[in-house]
Amino acid sequence: MSDADETSADESSTRPACPNCGEPVVVVTVSGPTDGFAAPCGCRLPPGGLADSRLE
């Protein structure tokens, strides 16, 4: 495994998982009072619909 692969794995493990697809989420963009999108997966999420397991 290269250093880049190790860094990528470390970063993804600290990011919350998308509740729809399970992919690590970098950012959620809110486009309205009830609409949002997770990136990079593109799944629709309500604002505040992403629980950060690091805070639990």
**Domain coordinates of the chain in residue numbers?**
3-48
pLDDT of residue 48: 81
Distance CA 34, CA 49 (A): 10
pLDDT of residue 1: 46
pLDDT per residue as tens digits for the range 2-49: 445 444 555 556 889 999 999 999 998 998 888 999 999 999 988 887
Q: Which residue has the higher pLDDT, 23 or 56?
A: 23
Distance CA 37, CA 27 (A): 8
Q: Long-range CB contacts (< 8 A, 24+ apart) of 13-16?
A: 14/54, 16/50, 16/51, 16/52, 16/53, 16/54
Q: Return the closest-CA partner of residue 29 out of 41, 19, 13, 17.
A: 41
pLDDT of residue 46: 87
pLDDT of residue 10: 53
